[in-house]
Amino acid sequence: MTESPLLLTDRGAVRTIAVNRPDKLNALDAATLDALHAAFDQAAQDPNVRVVVLTGTGPKAFVAGADIAQMSGLSAVEGRDFSLRGQRMMRRVEKMPKPVIAMVNGFALGGGLELAMCCHLRIAADTAKVGQPEINLGLIPGFGGTQRLIRLAGRAAALELCLTGAPIDAARALQLSVVNRVVPAAELEAETMKLAEQLANAAPLALRGMIDCVNVGAECGLEEGLEYESAQFGLIFSSEDMREGTRAFLEKRKPAFKGV
């Protein structure tokens, strides 16, 4: 049996998915892309999982990119298929009904940055570096890098990162909104888990509704986005969690959300 390229661990309602190819700096080959897709499918369906943390093993890399050794021999058709494979997986992450936090513990380059950007939130160690260095290989980003960089950092920054291929440090990534937070490397896991546990205790249906609304709003006009938000807002009034949350507020106690 082939060993899985992932490590999965649960801590309460938080599942950590770690790309486990430290000898390859956690590079994404086809098998790893497929394993990630399956792992996120499983986490989405598991009622005991409320939040997913995504990271990489080893001291150097979150994910250092796509597996260049595997890509180097691809034909044009195979290259397109590899791109679509990666994009499907990352779209799966982006559309997760549960919050996904990228814990960026080291290099997040090429496919690694693309993987981080499809997560809902990104916390980076102050030692991390991110970038889209595909230009140095005579390539362009293929897992959504050009598109998500525009949406996160704007056109000018997207072009700079892609055209120069130069990595940026975590502080600059924070300035560009490529990551949400930067913390000292020694505190990365603790701070990420603190946020994950906060979200795990929040109302699951409300979290899902917010993720859906932001995803829809990022891809449509304002009027359509507002209409979708109102529909989701009204729908959640049928949930027990909404009743529990409002009762708890009025009774001055902590709510106990069940996801129903």
SS (HEC) of 64-125: CCECHHHHCCCCHHHHHHHHHHHHHHHHHHHCCCCCEEEEECCEEECHHHHHHHCCCEEEEE
CATH of the domain at 152: 3.90.226.10
Verify that 55 and 179 share a domain, yes or no: yes
Verify that 130 and 151 share a domain, yes or no: yes
Verify that 96 and 125 share a domain, yes or no: yes
Tokens 């080893």 belong to residue: 58
Query: Do the domain assignments include residue 69?
Result: yes
Question: What is the per-residue pLDDT for 2?
Answer: 62
Residues 6 or more apart whose Cβ sits within 8 Å of residue 157: 149, 176, 178
Query: Do the domain assignments include residue 118?
Result: yes
Question: What is the per-residue pLDDT for 4?
Answer: 87
User: How far is residue 250 from each of residues 199, 238, 253, measured CA to CA in Å?
Assistant: 22, 19, 8
Verify that 67 and 195 share a domain, yes or no: yes
Query: Do the domain assignments include residue 1?
Result: no
Say which of 3, 78, 94, 114 is annotated catalytic: 114
Residues 6 or more apart whose Cβ sits within 8 Å of residue 89: 33, 34, 36, 37, 40
Domains in the chain, number: 2
Q: Clarify whether 114 is annotated catalytic.
A: yes
For the chain, residues with pLDDT lower than 70 are 1-2
CATH of the domain at 220: 1.10.12
Say which of 3, 78, 134, 187 is annotated catalytic: 134
Residue 222 lies in domain: 204-250
Question: What is the per-residue pLDDT for 259?
Answer: 87
Query: Do the domain assignments include residue 257?
Result: no
Verify that 51 and 160 share a domain, yes or no: yes
Distance separating alpha carbons of residues 191 and 101, to the nearest angstrom: 11
Verify that 234 and 105 share a domain, yes or no: no
Q: Is residue 254 within 8 Å of 245, Cβ to Cβ?
A: no
User: How far is residue 109 from each of residues 40, 150, 189, measured CA to CA in Å?
Assistant: 21, 16, 20
User: How far is residue 73 from each of residues 86, 112, 213, measured CA to CA in Å?
Assistant: 17, 21, 41
Query: Do the domain assignments include residue 259?
Result: no
Q: Clarify whether 197 is annotated catalytic.
A: no
Query: Do the domain assignments include residue 172?
Result: yes
Query: Do the domain assignments include residue 13?
Result: yes
Verify that 76 and 159 share a domain, yes or no: yes
Distance separating alpha carbons of residues 62 and 84, to the nearest angstrom: 22
Verify that 132 and 70 share a domain, yes or no: yes
